[in-house]
Structure 1
């Protein structure tokens, strides 16, 4: 095994297959890490949407029509209407 990643995975597998408590802790840690990534990705998506809505509000306030605002922000007209811009 010349691949360091593969060797590490094999060592982890050997260790976890011997001890059920270690396996439980490992799986709990993996779940936590996956949940953390999901939470961060969700927050990023929400932040991006809020930014687009803010830009849309500002463009509409300048008198730009809804169709052009939709093109510039990437929001659909339905999304803009549903958020009461």
Structure 2
């Protein structure tokens, strides 16, 4: 059972042989897990963006030039100008 393709086929066979209520519960759980993973990914990206913004603000406080901040953070010069205001 170490073959990934065979293991997936066995899981699919087991899933298809379940009764309709068991399949419904399985599908509901799969949807929940997918939604949770999507939510966590969105939160992770928002956290990274927030951290980059804070670093850019700190760099502005140190009077670094905008092009240097853009290179260091990956933000556009326009985004940095907006932070400066």
TM-score range (shorter-chain normalised) is 0.7 to 0.9
Q: Provide the TM-score with structure 2 as the length reference.
A: 0.79
* Runs of 5+ consecutive residues of structure 1 not aligned to the other structure: none
Q: Distance in 2 between matches of 1:49 and 1:68?
A: 18
Compute the RMSD of aligned alpha carbons.
Answer: 2.4
Whether contact under 8 Å (2:57, 2:83) holds in the other structure is no
Where does residue 77 of structure 2 map in the other structure? Answer: 77
Number of corresponding residues: 85
* Runs of 5+ consecutive residues of structure 2 not aligned to the other structure: none
Q: Distance in 1 between matches of 2:39 and 2:62?
A: 35
Q: Distance in 1 between matches of 2:13 and 2:22?
A: 11
